[in-house]
């Protein structure tokens, strides 16, 4: 499970964006769960997305299917990174930089 901060100014209508971007990036209709939304796509047996505390972050929990081909894994990873970029407002490079700058 991983929590990703949302860029300031993008927290408005976060839940609506979560659903819309799941449809756009993965091409599947998300299922509503008690805590958020769930999809199954490609190399992901399960991808759960929920709004974090204070609606300033998203919490993503995944379960991978390692029995799929390398092409499917690469495509799923690309779609997942694109989804994170769209939801958080931060690029992959910016997310890595932010994680490295946080003291443990």
Q: Which of 21, 3, 99 is nearest to 60 (CA)?
A: 3
Strand, helix or coil at 51? strand
Distances (CA, A) of 71 to 45, 66, 75, 82, 85: 16, 12, 6, 17, 21
Please tell me the distance from the alpha carbon of residue 28 to that of residue 21, in angstroms, as a whole number.
10
Please tell me the distance from the alpha carbon of residue 51 to that of residue 35, in angstroms, as a whole number.
8
pLDDT in tens, the chain (104 residues): 999 999 998 888 899 999 999 999 999 999 999 999 999 999 999 999 999 888 899 999 999 998 999 999 999 999 999 999 999 999 989 988 888 886 66
Which CATH number among 2.40.30.10, 3.40.50.300, 3.30.310.190, 3.30.1330.20 corresponds to the domain 2-101?
3.30.310.190
């Amino acid at each position: 499970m991983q929590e990703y901060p949302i860029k300031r100014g993008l927290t408005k209508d976060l839940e609506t964006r979560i659903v819309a971007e799941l449809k756009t990036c993965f091409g599947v209709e998300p299922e509503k769960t008690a805590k958020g939304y769930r999809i199954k796509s490609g190399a992901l047996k399960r991808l759960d997305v929920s709004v974090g505390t204070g609606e300033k972050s998203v919490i993503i929990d995944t379960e991978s299917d390692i029995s799929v081909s390398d092409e499917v894994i690469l495509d799923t990873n690309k779609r997942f990174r694109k989804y994170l970029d769209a939801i958080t407002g931060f690029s992959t490079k910016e997310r890595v930089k932010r994680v490295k700058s946080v003291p443990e």
